[in-house]
Structures are given as C-alpha cells and as structure tokens.
C-alpha cells in the first residue's frame, strides 16, 4: 500500500464509462484493482509481482512522474496512455504500436473443456506464459480476475483470462496456447468463455494486441471484436527526480 493510501488519503477517481478505455490501467488501479496497486499522489502502478503496468493522468506533471519513480523503485514501467508531458528524467526504452478492440458481437459462451484456474495452478500458468510469451505475466497476475484453462493429459496447454478491469470493462489477456495443441481452436473457445464470464459480471470485454500481430487481430475481429482505437505501449526507465513538496 502506498504512503498516501496508508495515511488515509482519498484515492482520486479514475476515468469512468467509455473514457475508462482511454486510460485503462489508471481506471483499473483506481477502481477494481486498488488492492493490487502501489500509489503515491496521482501516480499508480501494479505491484511488481503482478506486472509492470502503470498509470498517470493525462495532465501529469513533473511531480506526478517523480511519484511514479518513487513507487517503482528503479523498475521500468509500461504505460498504455502516456501523458502529454514526459520529463527528461523518463527514458523511453521501448515503444510498440498497438490496437485496442472491444466486444461488439462476440458469440460468447462457456466451454465444456475450460477449467477455472486458481492459486493451485499459478506455477503452471506462469510456466505456460513464459513459454508462449503472451505479454507481461507475473506470479500475482492470476489475482487480477477470472482465468480459464484447458488441460490435456493433466498438463495445462492453453489459457486466457481477465487482466485490467477499468470501470465497466474487463480486458481479455494472457491468451496463449502451447505449440503442441495449436490449430485446434482452443484460443477462440477460451476467449469466448472469458467474454461470457465478463458479460455475466456486467462488464464489456476488450483487448489489446500489437499492431503487427495481424493474425491475432484477424482472429479477434472474426470472433466479433471491433477496433476502437490505435494505442502505443511505451516502457520507461525512471531516473530519480528532485524531491518536491507534498503539501
């Protein structure tokens, strides 16, 4: 928990409604995922064991970036919505064009082979993610929401789940399939099941993909997702700022 939260400071409200998708990490961390966050002032990030994602408001200033550096402790952070102002102390180390797609007419439904994954499956989930590289996935990532998987001969070979939970939405994430079972439609089935779970919770499913992953984008569009906007995933190394008054 951040020093501000521990002192009882009221958390700022995150983006709400459709605007939540413009800054989904910030909305998620100031809302449903506050228990998984580290916060100082207006800067917020996930616990490093969850992943490197962080959020800043659109009008972030040097003080906000300094707060983010303080709670990141020298670790790099990834932003899905970068403020207009980026100080010299924030070194851009990675810049990836991407897209954000939203469920418009996905034919969602539960899958008889899909199993709900839990704490007992965490080690296998991490191993599958490390083997297939669906994106950032840490030891505590399974705590972000519902994760479903498929086992073959007792071995976890495919999974998909919910990561970000901005206001009114649930992000489909960690969609991965072991090479030994690719081509069997497991990813499509798991995505449909995750979307069904999100709808039951009253949330609209959405997802992100790198812009050059055209095969995945075609699959998601075929399933019923539609492009909402182009995004950039940017990773920063934050050098310490000079201390500033906290009021």
* Domain 101-229: CATH class, spelled out: alpha beta
Q: What pLDDT sits at residue 14?
A: 63
Mean pLDDT per 10-residue interval, the chain, length 247 residues = 42 69 97 98 98 97 97 96 96 97 97 96 97 94 97 97 97 97 96 98 97 96 98 93 47
* Domain 3-98+232-238: CATH class, spelled out: alpha beta
Q: What pLDDT sits at residue 6?
A: 38
Q: What pLDDT sits at residue 240?
A: 73
Q: What pLDDT sits at residue 19?
A: 87
Domains 3-98+232-238 and 101-229 equal at CATH topology level: yes
Domain map of the chain by residue range?
Answer: 3-98+232-238, 101-229
Q: What is the 3-state secondary structure (H, E, C) of the chain?
A: CCHHHHCCCCCCCCCCHHHHHHCHHHHHHCCCCHHHEEEECCEEEECCCCCCEEECCCCCCHHHHHHHHHHHCCCCEEECCCCCCCCCCEEEEEEEEEEEEEECCCCCCCCCCCEECCHHHHHHHHHHHHHHCCCCCCCCHHHHCCEEEEEECCEEEEEEEECCCCCCEEEEEEEEECHHHCCCCHHHHHHHHHHHHHHHCCCEEEEEEECCCHHHHHHHHHHCEEEEEEEEEEEEEECCCCCCCCC
Q: What pLDDT sits at residue 63?
A: 97
């Amino acid at each position: 928990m951040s020093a501000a939260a521990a002192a009882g400071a009221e958390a700022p409200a995150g983006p709400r409604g459709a605007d939540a998708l413009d800054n989904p990490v910030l909305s998620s961390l100031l809302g449903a995922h506050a228990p998984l966050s580290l916060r100082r002032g207006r800067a917020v990030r996930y616990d490093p064991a969850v992943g490197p994602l962080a959020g800043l408001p659109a009008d972030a200033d040097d003080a906000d970036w300094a707060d983010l550096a303080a709670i990141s402790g020298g670790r790099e952070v990834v932003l899905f919505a970068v403020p207009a102002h980026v100080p010299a102390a924030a070194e851009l180390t990675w810049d990836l064009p991407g897209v954000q797609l939203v469920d418009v007419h996905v034919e969602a439904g539960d899958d008889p082979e899909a199993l709900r994954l839990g704490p007992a499956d965490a080690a296998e989930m991490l191993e599958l993610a490390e083997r297939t590289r669906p994106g950032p996935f840490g030891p505590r990532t399974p705590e972000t929401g519902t994760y479903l998987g498929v086992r073959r001969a007792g071995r976890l070979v495919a999974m998909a789940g919910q990561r970000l939970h901005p206001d009114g939405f649930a992000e489909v994430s960690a969609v991965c399939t072991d090479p030994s079972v690719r081509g069997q439609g497991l990813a499509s089935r798991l995505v449909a099941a995750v979307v069904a779970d999100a709808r039951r919770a009253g949330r609209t499913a959405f997802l992100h993909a790198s812009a050059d992953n055209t095969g995945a984008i075609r699959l998601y569009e075929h399933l019923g997702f539609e492009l909402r906007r182009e995004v950039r995933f940017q990773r920063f190394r934050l050098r310490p700022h000079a201390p500033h008054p906290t009021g």
